[in-house]
Amino acid sequence: MAKTRATFLEGAEAWAAVFAITVQQGAFINLPLVMAGVPGDDFRDIDNPLNALSVWVSLGFVTIGVLRRANGVAAILRANLSSTVFMVLVVASALWSVHPDLTLRRGVGYVLTIMLAAYLAARYPFPRIMQLFSASFVISAISSVVFVTIFPAYGIMNIAELVGTWRGVYTHKEVLGPTMAAAVFVELYLLIIGNNAVRRILAWCLFIFLILMTRSATAVLVASFFICIAYLYFLARRRRGLGAVLLAVVLTAATVAGALLMIAPDFVLGLLGKDANLTGRSSLWPLVIELIGQRPVLGWGYRATWTPGDPTTYLIDQLTGNWGVTSSHNSWLEITLQTGIVGLANIVVIMSVALYRSAISKVIELDYRVFFFMLFAVVATAGLVIETIGQNQNICWLLLTLFIFGSSSERRISYANDVRRRSLSPT
Question: Tens digit of pLDDT for each residue in 308-342?
Answer: 777 777 667 766 666 667 778 888 999 999 999 99
Show Cβ contacts of residue 114 under 8 Å, excluding neighbours closer than 6 positions. Answer: 83, 87, 401
- pLDDT for res 229: 84
Residue 28 has pLDDT above 70, yes or no: yes
The 10s digit of each residue's pLDDT in 386-425 is 788 998 888 999 999 999 998 775 544 444 434 443 444 4
Q: Is residue 246 part of a domain?
A: no
Q: Is residue 89 part of a domain?
A: yes
Among 366, 345, 358, CA closest to 408: 358
CA distance 398 to 381: 16
Burial of 147 (0-12, 13-18, 19+ CB in 10 A): buried
Residues 77-94, mean pLDDT to the nearest whole number: 94
- pLDDT for res 392: 87
Residue 140 has pLDDT above 90, yes or no: yes
Residue 238 has pLDDT above 60, yes or no: yes
Q: Is residue 253 part of a domain?
A: no
Residues 259-284, mean pLDDT to the nearest whole number: 55
- pLDDT for res 22: 93
- pLDDT for res 3: 66
- pLDDT for res 263: 53
CA distance 82 to 357: 14
275, 265 in Cβ contact below 8 A? no
128, 412 in Cβ contact below 8 A? no
- pLDDT for res 143: 95
For the chain, the residue count is 427
More confident residue, 94 or 358: 94
The pLDDT mean for the chain works out to: 81
Q: Is residue 92 part of a domain?
A: yes
* Phi, psi (deg, nearest 5) at residue 156: -115, 135
Report the share of the chain in percent with pLDDT over 70. 78
- pLDDT for res 87: 95
CA distance 359 to 364: 9
The 10s digit of each residue's pLDDT in 275-306 is 544 555 667 888 888 889 999 999 999 988 88
Among 186, 149, 174, 146, CA closest to 21: 186
Judged by DSSP in three states, 166 sits in: strand
Residue 273 has pLDDT above 60, yes or no: no
Q: Is residue 164 part of a domain?
A: yes
Model confidence band, residue 426 (pLDDT cutoffs 50, 70, 90): very low
Judged by DSSP in three states, 44 sits in: helix
Residue 206 has pLDDT above 90, yes or no: yes
- pLDDT for res 254: 61
Residues 260-289, mean pLDDT to the nearest whole number: 60
Prior bond of 426 cis (ω within 30°): yes
Model confidence band, residue 171 (pLDDT cutoffs 50, 70, 90): confident
Residue 260 has pLDDT above 60, yes or no: no
Q: Is residue 391 part of a domain?
A: yes
CA distance 44 to 308: 10
- pLDDT for res 408: 72
More confident residue, 194 or 272: 194
Q: Which domain holds residue 96?
A: 2-238+279-420
DSSP 208-242: HHHHHHHT-HHHHHHHHHHHHHHHHHHHHHH-HHH
Number of domains in the chain: 1
Q: Is residue 55 part of a domain?
A: yes
Distances, alpha carbon 72 to alpha carbons 4, 68, 405, in Å: 26, 9, 11
Q: Is residue 260 part of a domain?
A: no
- pLDDT for res 413: 43
- pLDDT for res 424: 44
Amino acid in the structure at residue 350 = I
